[in-house]
Amino acid sequence: MKRAGVTLVELLVALGVLGILLVAAGRYFASSTDLSFAARARAEVLSELQTAQAIIAARARQAAFVYPEFAELTLSNSGYTTRNPLTDGYVWKISDGLMLAMILPPENRAQPCGGGNTSGCFMFYAYYPVKRSALMKAAPLLRPVDDPLNQGSWVLMEYRAAYDSPPGYERGAPLPPVPTGQQGRMLAEYLSPVGAPGYPRLFLTEGEHRPDDEGNPALQPDGNPNTWVFRVHSWLSGERSLGAQTARVPRQGALEQDIFVRNTLLR
């Protein structure tokens, strides 16, 4: 009686089909893993940018003064945490759309300013980007996590410093000085490059608006028609390279802010 079996050709065909199925399954799972990683990376970038935007908006709503478009500021004359990514220098032009700078009133006016206590001081805040590659040269505590795929990305920074004495500003006079010598701190990683062809600006500070000129009573909470108001726009967007893919977060929704600021320093 002849024994049933498979021929060598049939075995090779079966192995070939099995190999094709295994390759297809491997590619499917690899693709699913890549998509999952990209989605997770995008969610992390979005969450970080939303937190940063919320902080900026909260500061702006508390501000007593916002530096106008014609201002040129220097935060420090050295260091990597305050270096302008477009010029590699330390001068920032507000009109370039890279920086939002403001002065906040004391948290507690009953407290004295000084002696390590800043709750009774006027505070200067600035928000701006720096190159990730430059920030990697800063002190270890100021550096982001090493990420070779994103050395060309930008990082959003916050600079804060206390005034020794209350600043003031009269129309036509020099702008309030900037308390210098502090380090910036990282607020959000993986910021999309700005100020370059094809990329939008981060911030826009629109001139001085009088509420009565706007015709909007809501802008006169103190009932003073001579109160001057700045209109601050803030847009954030992010991108993170993952190699074959890029996780992108467009500037929309909570990443766009349009805020009116009453300048109580302006006289």
The tens-digit pLDDT sequence of the chain (267 residues) is: 455 566 766 666 666 777 777 666 556 544 555 557 688 888 888 899 999 999 999 998 888 888 888 889 999 888 899 999 888 899 999 988 899 999 999 988 888 887 778 889 999 999 999 998 889 888 887 888 888 888 888 999 999 999 988 887 776 778 888 998 788 999 998 998 865 555 578 888 876 544 444 444 444 444 444 456 677 888 888 988 888 788 888 876 666 777 777 777 755
Quick check: helix, strand or coil at residue 149? Answer: helix
For 262, residues 6+ apart whose C-beta sits below 8 A from its C-beta are 219, 221, 222, 227, 228, 229
Least Cα distance to 73 among 55, 52, 104, 100 occurs for 100
For 142, residues 6+ apart whose C-beta sits below 8 A from its C-beta are 80, 81, 135, 183, 184, 185, 186
Structure tokens at 45: 């970038």
- Asked if residues 103 and 64 have their Cβ atoms less than 8 Å apart, the reply is yes
